[in-house]
Amino acid sequence: MRGQVTIVPILAAHAESFRECIDAVARERRYIAMTEAPPLESVTAYVLGNVQSDVAQFVALDGERVVGWADVAPSIAQAVSHCGKLGMGVLAGYRGQGIGATLLDACIEKARAKGITRIELDVRADNERALRLYARAGFTREALKRNAMRFDGVYFDTVQMSLILAECERPAAGDDPGRIRGRGG
C-alpha cells in the first residue's frame, strides 16, 4: 500500500533504496541509459560524494523506500563549470502523479542556488511523457542524436535538451526556441 510521497534531499541512508530504484528503472530498458544499477558500493560512494558536495540531488520517498530521484551533476572542467547534467527516474507504479515534476523543480532550484546556469539532459526521442515534462519546465531541444542508445541490439535516437538559468536570458513566451540568443556573434 502506498503512503504519501515526500521529496527530500538525498542522504547516505537512502543509498541502498536509491540503488534499488535505479535498478528497477534501468531494467525497463527504456528510460535511462543503464540496463542495471551499478554495485551498491559505487552507488553509496556517489551518494556520499553528492551529500558532501551539496549537489542538487533529491529523492521521492514512500515511507523509507526511494520511488524516484533527480540530480544535477555539476561539470568539473573550468570552462563548463556553470553546466550540470540532469538525471532522473521514477518507479513505474508512481509515474503520472507529479512526482517527476516535483523532483525536477527541486533540482532546478537547488542547481540555481549552487551557481549552475545551464542544465543539460539527453532523453530518448520516443519518450513523449518525459519530453513534455522537460518542455513544461522550460527545457528546449538542441539536437537529435541518432542511434545514441542501444538496448538488446536495437538503436534509439535521443534528444539533447537544455535549460538556461539566471545569468543568461531565457526566451520570452512566443519566442522561437530554436533561435540562437546570447552575446557575441
Asked whether residue 112 is assigned to any structural domain, the reply reads yes
Number of domains present in the structure of the chain: 1
Task: For 95-148, write each residue's pLDDT tens digit.
Answer: 999 999 999 999 999 999 999 999 999 999 999 999 999 999 999 999 999 999
Alpha carbon distance 68, 60 (integer Å): 5
Whether 21 maps to a domain, the answer reads: yes
Bridging pattern class, strands 118-124 and 83-90: parallel
CATH of the domain at 77: 3.40.630.30
Residue 127 in domain: no
- Show the domain range for 69: 5-121
How far is Cα 39 from Cα 35, in angstroms, rounded to an integer? 13
What is the model's pTM?
0.87
Whether residue 68 lies inside any domain: the answer is: yes
- Residue 179 falls inside a structural domain: no
85 belongs to a structural domain = yes
Task: Judge whether 144 lies within some domain.
Answer: no
Q: Is 170 within the bounds of a domain?
A: no
